[in-house]
Every structure is written in structure tokens, then in C-alpha cells.
Amino acid sequence: MRVAERRRLVAVARGAAPANLYLRGGTLLNVYTGELYAANVAVYGERIAYVGSRTDMVDASTTVLDVAGRVLVPGYVDPHVHPAHVITPSALARHVLALGTTTLFADTLQFWELGGVRAFTAVADALARSPVKFYWMIRPHAQSRTADEWRRFPLRDLTRALAHPSAVAVGEVTRWPDVHAGEPHLLRRLDLARVRGQRVEGHTAGASAERLAAIAAGGLSSDHEPITAREVLDRARQGIAVMLRESSLRPDLSGLLNALKDAPGLAARAMLTADGSMPAFVQDHGFVDHLIRTAMQRGVPPLDAYRMATLNPATYFGKDTDLGGIAPGRYADICVLRDLGEPRPETVIARGRVAAREGRTLVAVPEPPWRRVFATPAARLTVRWRARPDDFRLPGRPTLPVLRLVSTVITKIEQRAPQRGDLHAALIDRGGRWVAPALVAGFAERVDGLATTISTDFNILALGRRPPSIARAVNRLLDLRGGVVLVEGDAVEWELALPLGGIMTRAELPEAAARERELAQRLGERGYTFHDPFFTMFFLSADFLPAARLTPRGVWDVKAGRILLPSRQRA
């Protein structure tokens, strides 16, 4: 906000200048005091100028919105969002805005990994004026270990990215064992945020209570990974700010909320997050509105439920003078509700404009300049190599390490001879230089060939029972410049092009959700039994999840920290 805008805001509050927008006759949920009372709200530009009973800032130029009988609550804030899952951050924003979410604290993984600090800056700059506010956490490390990792995440670039006006944190730091071990390259990167007064977004999935002290001492300031109320408490006790999650992958919120009963001080700081929910889940359930509703249905007092999704995250990120409450100086982000008990809004005000009504978004959300964001051949998949069935050949050993899926994303290792139902699998370099072959069990044993660029390290994941079908899927994927391709025999059975970096479609959320359901159905028909196939593919290369992963160096034993089956150069 420039000083001239601030002066005008003050003038409107005094009644010396007209408001642009005036909400008349509503009942306000004051998240600062916990009170509900009648109040009008005057808006100038993007911000709230006045909250009270006076009307002297209303003139003929003011748009007056009659909200009699309605409840006004602050626009919802999600403190931990992965905004590039299948759809663009802008498409996500367009959808969730109508559901009342007006601020996203968002991950940069995809932009950062595929385009570095220039790509991040291009995205952040483009979204700086979005009606849904975007703030960013900057990744300090990759999702799969590589020898050149610290060169790929240089201190200089991280420092530059953290200096961006919309950067608020380093994160998500998925590699908590390295924090626990005091790995100096990583700690040095976390320290860059600390000296700026920024946050360090953690991820401590599976860390036992006794390890949390060292992780907290290492500087992680939040965690969104607890999957039980006990884990919530364990983390909160160590001073780690907890984000209670309900996502398509981990719809755990109902259970997590039990922690609030055991710990009377927790609700003052806890937050709610939808994390990396996939399109179909968001379409079916909602976004932050769904989290608030779930909390109230589980008996959380409305003040606490709304605060955990508004003021608490705003305060945690040091943005509480801009966000999180309906008060002068804040962005005019307001949900107009029919009833405090139903968080899905009738009308949404964002940045001072009527941004959505009855579930329909009425304002434009800018799209980042994707051609500039994804500028390299690898990012754009404009490559000349093509896959061959021989790429999926396995070494002739009596036993091999098999990655058996035991849930949507968790694997266990079976060291044994290949058997019926095992799929050939491989992670392949986007540039075609190497391939990491493997065997996978428990995925979908009747898939002939599947290839996708949806993976945490952005290489190509390929799977199937027939190497020629897998090669066909990979080659069609390269033609599409990324996406998901399912091949039956030699024919492409189903495909989804994700031409933006190989990770995103230009489609809106409802269309992406429809395609997601198609894929789930086709994989289900072929034996997939879990609940989120995008995440199964995405995380097969994430070397921080138990027990084994497919990485550029080969099949990786996460706990032992060693390669079980190495990758090889492609000819």
C-alpha cells in the first residue's frame, strides 16, 4: 500500500472521502475479540477503511451492498498449499475464491525445480495482483537426492527468492532426518529465512516424539504432517506451529481436532490446511470452507474454527496487519455467509471487489507467463530422444528389490524373484540421459503401459506389464510435452496433456477433476485399489517417504540411505 493510498483510506475512515464499497447491515464475526455484533464495513480500493455504524463515507459513487441478515467473516487463508497440482495456481485460485478462500501461502517446488529463481519470480510477480493473495515458501532442497543438489539450490538464488516481497518462508523442508542430523548445507539454507524473520515450513511425517526436539532445535517453525491427535500435541509441545490437515491424500482432520480438547491453549495458534488436495477432492468437498465446516461439525467453537483459518495463519506469517480479520487497513477480503454455521459463502469480497457470488467467480485471476516460466527444453519437453522397450530391462539377478505399495503413497521393500503381478517401472531423465529401472507391486497389475511427468522430481515415471506398451506411453507423453498417458496393447487408451512444464493443464478445476476421475476409473479397472492415483505417481520418486523410492540414482532404500538397484546411462 502506497502512502497516498493509506492517506485516502484514513480520509474514508474519517468520513472525509467516499468509500468505493459499503457493506450495510451485516453481523460481524470479530476474530480479534471473539464477538458477534452488527457493523457496516467501508472499503476503499483494495482495503478496509472503516468498520462501524457511521455512514458518512457513503455517497452516490459508493456501491452499497445490503448484507442484512448475513454474517461477515474474514476471507479464508490456507497456510500451506501446493498450487501446481494438475491445474495452474490461477485456476486453483479461480475455483477456491468462490468458496471463500482469499489467501494462499503456497509452495514453489515446480517453478523452482524446472526454472529456478527466474521462474519463481515470474510466477510471483504475475500473481502479485491476484484477487486471491499468493505468498510463497521457497524450497531449500530437491525432492530426490542428487550429487549436485546444493549446486542446484544455491544460497545466492535462495537469498534472492526470499527477498521477493511475497516470499514468507523457506519450505517445505521434507528432509527432516537431515535437520535432525544437523546437516550443515540444509541448516545454512534454513538460516537464510531466520535472519530475515521469515518462517521455516517443516514436514516431519513419521518423526517420533523423541526426535522432535532436535527437529525443533534445527529451526523448523511449523508442521502440517501430523496424522493423529497425539502427533499434533507432540509437535505443538515443542513450540512447532501445527497446521491441521484435511487433504485428498490425507483426510485426517476429524481425528486431529481431538488435540484441541486435550490442549486448551492450542486453538489460539493452530491452523487448518488443505495441503496438496487434488482437483476432484476440492470439487467434491470444498477447500478451506470444508475445513472450517468439519471443525464446527466436530464441536470446535465457531470462533476457534474461523480463527484457525483466518487470523491464526495471518499472524503466524507476520501478515496480520494485511490479512485475517475485518478491520481497517486489512485487505477487503470478506465472506458473506447466510449463517455462521455454514462457511461456504453467498458472496465473496476480495481485494475490495465483489469477487464471487453463489459459487461463481466474477473477477479475473492473472495467469503467469508460462512460456517464460518454463523456458528450457527439459522444462518444455521439447526433446528428441525416444524410449525403447529395452529401457525397462532389469538386470539378470536371482532376486530384485520390489517396491510394494501398501497405501496410496507408502511402499515396503520386497527382495525376491520377480513374480506375476509385478510391473516394470522406471524413472527416466527428461533429457533421456539415464533410466532408473525397478519393479513395482500393488499398483495396478493389469496396466500395459503408463507414463507421466507427474513426479516430485519432474522426471518421467513409467510403469506397466509390457515394455513395448510402456515405451509407447513414454513416446506419446513426449509428443504431448508431458502429462499422463495410458496405453493398452499398442493403443493409447487414455491421455491427459499437461503442456505447462509437463505438470499443469490450462483447463479449469472442474475439467481437471473430471479427467482425474476418468484416470482413477481406468486404473481401478486395471487393479489400482488406493484412493489418489495422482499422488501415487507423484510420490514414487520422493525419497523422504518410507520405505523405498525410485530416484535418479536408482532404487533408494530411504531408511538405510542407500541404492538397492542403480540407474544406468541410456545409449
Q: Which residues contribute to the site for its own copies (CB under 8 A)?
A: 1, 3, 6-7, 9-14, 30-35, 47-52, 54, 179-182, 184, 187-188, 191, 194, 197, 210, 213-214, 216-219, 221, 233, 236-240, 262-266, 268-269, 303, 307, 315, 318, 321, 325, 327-330
Shortest distance (Å) from residue 300 CB to its own copies: 14
Question: Cβ closer to its own copies: 307 or 549?
Answer: 307
Query: Alpha-carbon distance 397 to 418, whole Å?
Result: 10
Q: 233: how many CB neighbours lie within 10 A of its CB? A: 20
Question: Cβ closer to its own copies: 311 or 548?
Answer: 311
Residues 6+ apart with CB under 8 A from 132: 93, 96, 97, 101, 102, 103, 104, 350, 365
Distances (CA, A) of 191 to 24, 98, 479: 47, 37, 42
Shortest distance (Å) from residue 7 CB to its own copies: 4
Question: Cβ closer to its own copies: 15 or 418?
Answer: 15
Shortest distance (Å) from residue 10 CB to its own copies: 4
Query: Alpha-carbon distance 124 to 366, whole Å?
Result: 11
Shortest distance (Å) from residue 321 CB to its own copies: 5
Are the beta carbons of 537 and 461 closer than 8 angstroms? Answer: yes
Question: Cβ closer to its own copies: 327 or 394?
Answer: 327
C-alpha cell at 50: 472503516
Question: Cβ closer to its own copies: 213 or 364?
Answer: 213
Query: Alpha-carbon distance 273 to 281, whole Å?
Result: 14
Question: Cβ closer to its own copies: 233 or 427?
Answer: 233
Question: Cβ closer to its own copies: 156 or 384?
Answer: 156
Shortest distance (Å) from residue 509 CB to its own copies: 32
Strands 491-497 and 360-361, sheet pairing: unpaired
C-alpha cell at 198: 521469515
Query: Alpha-carbon distance 415 to 401, whole Å?
Result: 4
Q: Considering only CA atoms, which of 490, 446, 433, 484 is closest in space to residue 462?
A: 484
Question: Cβ closer to its own copies: 15 or 499?
Answer: 15
Shortest distance (Å) from residue 350 CB to its own copies: 18
C-alpha cell at 194: 531466520
- Three-class SS of residue 314? helix
- Three-class SS of residue 256? helix
Shortest distance (Å) from residue 311 CB to its own copies: 8
Query: Alpha-carbon distance 95 to 344, whole Å?
Result: 13
Question: Cβ closer to its own copies: 197 or 396?
Answer: 197
Are the beta carbons of 268 and 34 closer than 8 angstroms? Answer: no
Shortest distance (Å) from residue 294 CB to its own copies: 21
Helix, strand, coil tally for the chain in percent (to 5): 30, 25, 40
Query: Alpha-carbon distance 241 to 198, whole Å?
Result: 14
Shortest distance (Å) from residue 426 CB to its own copies: 37
Are the beta carbons of 539 and 133 closer than 8 angstroms? Answer: no
Shortest distance (Å) from residue 137 CB to its own copies: 15
Q: Is the peptide bond between 181 and the residue preceding it cis, with omega within 30 degrees of 0?
A: no
Distances (CA, A) of 403 to 82, 462, 549, 555: 26, 14, 7, 9
- Three-class SS of residue 334? strand
Shortest distance (Å) from residue 302 CB to its own copies: 11
Question: Cβ closer to its own copies: 329 or 510?
Answer: 329
- Whose cell is 531408511? That residue is 559
Question: Cβ closer to its own copies: 203 or 307?
Answer: 307
Shortest distance (Å) from residue 50 CB to its own copies: 5
Question: Cβ closer to its own copies: 307 or 404?
Answer: 307
Cα atoms in the 13 Å half-sphere on the side-chain side of 511 = 11
